[in-house]
């Protein structure tokens, strides 16, 4: 039986979520509700830049090595990531070192130094990271796809930002962005593990944070799907494509239907896409589907890497599988539902995965929706899949192709 999520909101506006998990490890995540779509044009890449800088030293731990060593000497792991809507930082560590991990993360978010010399060093690192992403076709295909799919919407811009702006971004800009968004009302602290009294420990540690909120602008609504094809040629050993659509938000009741569809099409080696494109015809090595459901925008994209001579056939087969969904049988839906349930069970053995799942659902929908997620997944019928496939999978798709020269 899954234990309930315990939620506490401090007077300063900071939210704490605790999920008890029978494990020898605990994960603490600080989820900051800002990302690339909150940035102004002149700030493109600031969220990601900040993510790097918070690991570079605080008043109590004046270097990146000091921060890392305090976690790693206990065998712990730590990382961070930036998305369009959130930036998050986490430490996974043995239960008995919970207080140490909490202190480090709180220190990073409150007392980072933003040393000018370190800032310049990290600027070079970020520019190298951008080059790495642009050189990696499996990552760059999504940059190309989102740009084509979302057009003028902020979700079209890469999370890593604008290179020319990043080269001249000032410390003052960084500090202003940090002061605006890294405030109590925009931060959720998530604990996943077996830590009695965890909520009280976090509350005591963070209750002194100054109460501050930010005025949020209304979310920009993405435009309707329209047929868009973009082709970019690069020196590559094979070609890559993503075919997809704007999709429903995580709060939409049909979001679980998209999850079931993803299970039908992309369930490992038994999903329709792998079976039809790779197993039966050997047209590719890698093929799958990603449903990226968020709070203010969402997309679904089918991806494949293949020789360019196979692009027309692969595209044809992808569209065929989407068409087949309009008459999917009950057993296909059932197998996708058991796949989702089993995948969740495996993920829940990892406290870092549990913490990130909580953070995602708290932001994109609610923890109540997470509690009822499998109930809603298992209520999806073949008729629901027929309806959603007919409504969303039409000829108004976006096709992004990264073609080998």
Whole-number Å distance between alpha carbons of 89 and 29:
6
- Secondary structure (DSSP) of 263-319: HHHHSTTTSHHIIIIIITT---S-EEEEEEE-SS-EEEEEEEEE-GGGHHHHHHHHH
CA distances from residue 274 to 218, 234, 280 in whole angstroms, order as listed:
40, 25, 8
Would you write out the chain's pLDDT as a tens digit for each of its 405 residues?
A: 567 899 999 999 999 999 999 999 999 999 999 999 999 999 999 999 999 999 999 999 999 999 999 999 999 999 999 999 999 999 999 999 999 999 999 999 999 999 999 999 999 999 999 999 999 999 999 999 999 999 999 999 999 999 999 999 999 999 999 999 999 999 999 999 999 999 999 999 999 999 999 998 899 999 999 999 999 999 999 999 999 999 999 999 999 999 999 999 999 999 999 999 999 999 999 999 999 999 999 999 999 999 999 999 999 999 999 999 999 999 999 999 999 999 999 999 999 999 999 999 999 999 999 999 999 999 999 999 999 999 999 999 999 999 999
Q: Where are the domains of the chain?
A: 6-206, 228-404
The total number of residues shown for the chain amounts to: 405
Contact status, residue 216 vs residue 375, Cβ threshold 8 Å: no
75: buried, middle or exposed (CB in 10 Å: 19+, 13-18, 0-12)? exposed
Among the listed residues 323, 344, 336, 347, the one whose alpha carbon sits nearest the alpha carbon of residue 395: 323
328 burial (CB, 10 Å; 0-12 / 13-18 / 19+) is buried
Q: Which CATH number is associated with domain 6-206?
A: 3.30.830.10
CATH of domain 228-404: 3.30.830.10
C-alpha span between 252 and 263 (Å, rounded): 18
pTM of this prediction?
0.96
pLDDT given at position 354 = 97
């Amino acid at each position: 039986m899954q234990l309930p999520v315990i939620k506490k909101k401090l007077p300063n506006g900071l939210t704490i979520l605790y999920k008890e998990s029978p494990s020898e490890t605990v994960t603490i995540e600080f989820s900051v509700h800002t990302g690339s779509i909150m940035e102004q044009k002149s700030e493109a890449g600031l969220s990601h830049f900040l993510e790097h800088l918070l690991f570079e030293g605080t008043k109590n731990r004046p270097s990146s090595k000091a921060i890392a060593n305090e976690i790693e000497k206990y065998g712990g792991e730590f990382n961070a990531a930036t998305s369009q809507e959130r930036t998050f930082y986490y430490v996974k560590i043995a239960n008995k070192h919970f207080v140490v991990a909490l202190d480090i993360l709180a220190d990073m978010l409150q007392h980072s130094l933003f040393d000018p010399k370190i800032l310049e060093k990290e600027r070079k690192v970020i520019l190298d990271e951008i080059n790495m992403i642009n050189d990696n076709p499996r990552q760059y295909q999504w940059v190309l796809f989102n740009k084509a799919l979302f057009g003028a919407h902020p979700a079209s811009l890469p999370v890593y930002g604008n290179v020319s702006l990043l080269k001249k971004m000032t410390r003052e800009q960084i500090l202003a962005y940090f002061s605006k968004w890294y405030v109590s009302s925009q931060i959720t602290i998530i604990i996943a593990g077996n830590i009695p009294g965890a909520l009280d420990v976090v509350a005591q540690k963070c209750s002194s944070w100054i109460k501050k909120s930010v005025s949020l602008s209304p979310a920009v609504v993405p435009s309707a799907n329209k047929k868009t094809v973009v082709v970019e040629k690069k020196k590559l050993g094979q070609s890559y494509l993503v075919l997809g659509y704007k999709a429903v938000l995580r709060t939409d009741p049909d979001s679980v239907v998209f999850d079931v569809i993803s299970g039908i099409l992309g369930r490992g080696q038994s999903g329709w896409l792998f079976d039809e494109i790779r197993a039966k015809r050997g047209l590719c090595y890698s093929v799958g589907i990603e449903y990226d459901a968020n709070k203010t925008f969402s997309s679904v994209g089918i991806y494949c890497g293949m020789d360019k001579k196979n692009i027309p056939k692969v595209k044809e087969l992808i569209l065929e599988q989407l068409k087949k969904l309009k008459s999917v049988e009950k057993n296909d839906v059932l197998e996708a539902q058991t796949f989702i349930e089993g995948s969740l069970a495996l993920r829940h053995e990892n406290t870092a995965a549990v913490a990130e799942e909580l953070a995602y659902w708290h932001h994109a929908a609610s923890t109540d929706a997470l509690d009822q997620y499998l109930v809603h997944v298992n209520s999806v019928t073949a008729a629901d899949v027929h309806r959603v496939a007919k409504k969303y999978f039409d000829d108004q798709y976006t096709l992004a192709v990264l073609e080998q020269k």
